[in-house]
Amino acid sequence: MVDTTAKAEIEAAVVRFGEAWADGDVTTLETLLSPTFTATDIDGEFTDRAAWLATVHKRPNAKTTMDDIAIRTFGDVAIVTARQILMHDDRSERRRRAFRITAVLVKHDGRWLREAAQAAAIAD
Q: What is the pLDDT of residues 16-27, one digit of tens each?
A: 999 999 888 999
Confidence at residue 49, expressed as pLDDT on a 0 to 100 scale: 97
Q: What is the share, in percent, of the chain residues with pLDDT greater than 70?
A: 90
Q: What is the pLDDT of residues 33-49, one digit of tens each?
A: 999 999 998 899 999 99
Q: What is the 3-state secondary structure (H, E, C) of the chain?
A: CCCHHHHHHHHHHHHHHHHHHHHCCHHHHHHHEEEEEEEECCCCCEEEHHHHHHCCCCCCCCEEEEEEEEEEEECCEEEEEEEEEEEEEECCEEEEEEEEEEEEEEEECCEEEEEEEEEEEECC
Confidence at residue 61, expressed as pLDDT on a 0 to 100 scale: 62
Mean pLDDT across the stretch 99-117? 96
Q: Spelled out in words, what is the top-level CATH class assigned to the domain 4-122?
A: alpha beta
pTM of the model: 0.88
Confidence at residue 88, expressed as pLDDT on a 0 to 100 scale: 76
